[in-house]
Amino acid sequence: MQQYAELSGMKWLSNRYAYPLVALVMLASIGLQVIWLGQLFRAQQVQVKRDLDQAVANAASQSDYLSVAQGHENSENFKNFFLSPDWLQIKQAFTRLRDRQFGGSFTSQIRPDSTIVTIGIHIANDKPRVGHRQIIRTYDEGETLQTITAADKRDLARMDSLVKVECLRAQLDLDTYHVIYDYDSGKPESPAIWKKAQQAAYRSQQYGYNLNFFLHTYQLVAQSINGVVLYRMRYYLGSSLLMLLLTGAAFFFLFRIMRSQRLYTQERLAFTSNMTHELKTPVSVIEAALDAITRYGLARDPVKLNNYIQISQSELQRLNLMIDKVLNLDQLDNGQVLLRRELYDVQQGLASVVSSMQLRQAQTSSVITYQPASEPCFVGGDPVHLINVFYNLIDNALKYGGKNARIIVSCKCSREDIHISFQDNGPGISGIYQERVFERFFRVPENPDVHTVKGSGLGLHYVKQIVEKHGGSVKLQSEAGKGSTFTIILPAYHEV
């Protein structure tokens, strides 16, 4: 009883608050995860852009260095200077001057003890006339526009591949392209590509990539960076998803347990009230019989006395059966039922159960017909339990079949197995209950006889457990209003 109290104490949780509470918890945890992941996403976006900046800057300073490295290959100082962030800053400032009518030049001169680097800034003296912009550019001796353009093309290709290498090193596996700007005018070489780049997720600063001549600047563009961002977040995304799944699964199982506990409590309570009633009836019948015997001195009337004693005996038998059922239930649930298997002809058992049931039904208009197989059907089974099984199935057919029950019991055996079927013309069992009738305590709630026909809801549970313990199975074919057929399939006995 304490268990019931505990369970009914939990009722408030399962009924009214649990579902909204869980929905709230789930929503809150989904919401928090979404917010958190959103923040992380934005932070990672910033980080990816920073990494891209770094990659282009590295590539640009390497490209710069390579453009002047010839002749200085052995000078660590020279290399360190051109690959230093400080130089990169000076260089960027120098590059940005171009829009203001400045031109730039660069020379280096190797001396035995040092290298002189000269950065030239060329400033136009007069305001240029519109449409005649003055371009100031110095070429080293012997260089023509053609040779410079060719060299610039080569250096641009080198810059581009350096950028690719740097991106790969920083694990930035992105679809990128570049926009080339005219060094002097700052106009893009290809307006179409430039236009496309305006919608891109990432555009780098513009970098010069060559120190000998200043024709173009390079800008790296990535149309979308979300792929890399999500890839970098994969562990976070995975763990969030896992968390949600685990929480969901935990709640799901919790609900299932709560639900089955509630159903179990309800069924158990129904069983107790049913059982009390069932136990009380025979006790009060016997009480009344004994009372009559003593009160009316029936010792002198042997016919009546015998009659009352018989009634009492049959009631005691019923009581015994009922107690057995409850005991069996406990043993079945604890897995303690031990089968005493022996070579057993099921037809013998069927015949005896059918004939005793026929006797019991003699006064009513129900008819039980037995259609035996022509040869004996042997199983390796426990006769006591198998007889109980047959008894339960025929008892159900009679109980639920009403006054004019027509019951056909038949047996067929093949080499592999034995089919025993119990067919009735009763109310039938509708599809939704066909699995559940085998659960313990379950009784079909729509059955019109559910209150008049007494039962504990244990019979079929017992039948199924016992048959399965014998290695067999129980099948139910039924339709509401069209009778039911229970078929037991048991493996036939084979000598090993």
Q: Look at residue 424 and give the partner it binds from ligand ATP, Mg ion, none, a contact being a CB closer than 5 to 8 Å depending on partner kind.
A: ligand ATP
Interaction of residue 429 with ligand ATP, rule CB under 6 A: yes
Q: Say which residue the tokens 């490209």 belong to.
A: 63
- Among the listed residues 104, 282, 381, 459, the single contact to ligand ATP using CB under 6 A: 459
- Candidates 396, 423, 478, 484; binder of Mg ion (CB under 5 A) is 396
Interacting span for ligand ATP (CB under 6 A) from 76-84, 94-102, 214-222, 449-457: 449-457
* Residue 457 near Mg ion by CB under 5 A: no
| 447 is a site residue for Mg ion (CB under 5 A) | no
Q: Is 105 helix (H, G, I), strand (E, B) or coil?
A: strand
Q: Does 459 bind Mg ion (CB under 5 A)?
A: yes
Min dist. Cβ of residue 252 to ligand ATP (A) = 29
Q: Which is nearer to ligand ATP, 225 or 466 (CB)?
A: 466
The conformation of residue 412, written as its DSSP 8-state character, comes to E
Does the footprint of ligand ATP cover residue 282 (CB under 6 A)? no
For the record, the structure tokens of 232 come out as 């970098």
Q: Does 447 bind ligand ATP (CB under 6 A)?
A: yes
H or E element in which residue 179 lies: strand 176-182
Q: Is residue 427 a contact point for ligand ATP (CB under 6 A)?
A: yes
Fill in the per-residue mask, 128 to 167: x = in contact with ligand ATP (CB under 6 A), - = not in contact.
----------------------------------------
Q: How far is CA 381 from CA 10, 121, 342, 486, in A?
A: 44, 108, 5, 19
Q: Is residue 401 a contact residue for Mg ion (CB under 5 A)?
A: no
- Binding segment for ligand ATP among 17-25, 61-69, 180-188, 424-432 (CB under 6 A)? 424-432
- Candidate residues 55, 460, 466, 474; the one interacting with ligand ATP per rule CB under 6 A: 460
| Residue 194, SS3 per DSSP | helix
Residue 435 has which token pair? 């699995």
CA distance linking residue 384 with residue 374, whole number of Å:
24
Residue 233 CB partners (closer than 8 Å, separation 6+)? 37, 40, 41, 44
Q: Name which of residues 386 to 405 contact ligand ATP (CB under 6 A).
A: 392, 396-397, 400
Report CA 213 to chain centroid distance, whole Å: 63
x/- map, 354-393, ligand ATP, by CB under 6 A: --------------------------------------x-
- CB 362 → Mg ion: shortest distance, Å? 21
Q: How far is the CB of 461 from ligand ATP (least distance, A)?
A: 6
The two three-digit tokens of residue 103, written as one number = 């031109």
CA-CA-CA-CA torsion sign (399, 273, 461, 476): positive
Cα–Cα distance measured from residue 453 to residue 462, given in angstroms and rounded to the nearest whole number: 19
Here the tokens at position 91 are 């260089």
Sketch the per residue contact string, 406 through 445, with Mg ion: x for CB under 5 A, - otherwise: ----------------------------------------
Extract the tokens encoding 76.
């660590």
Q: Enter the tokens of residue 446.
A: 């729509």
**427 binds, options ligand ATP, Mg ion, none, Cβ within 5 to 8 A by partner type:** ligand ATP
Do residues 174 and 225 make contact, with C-beta atoms less than 8 angstroms apart? yes
CB closer to ligand ATP out of 20 and 481: 481
Q: How many other CB atoms are there within 10 angstroms of residue 38's CB atom?
A: 10
Q: Which is nearer to ligand ATP, 95 or 447 (CB)?
A: 447
Cα–Cα distance for residue pair 446/425, rounded to 1 Å: 17
DSSP code string of 355-408: HHHHHHTTTSS-EEEEE--SS--EEEE-HHHHHHHHHHHHHHHHHHH-TT-EEE
Question: What are the residues binding ligand ATP (CB under 6 A)?
Answer: 392, 396-397, 400, 424, 426-427, 429, 437, 442-444, 447, 455-461, 484
Question: What are the residues binding Mg ion (CB under 5 A)?
Answer: 396, 459
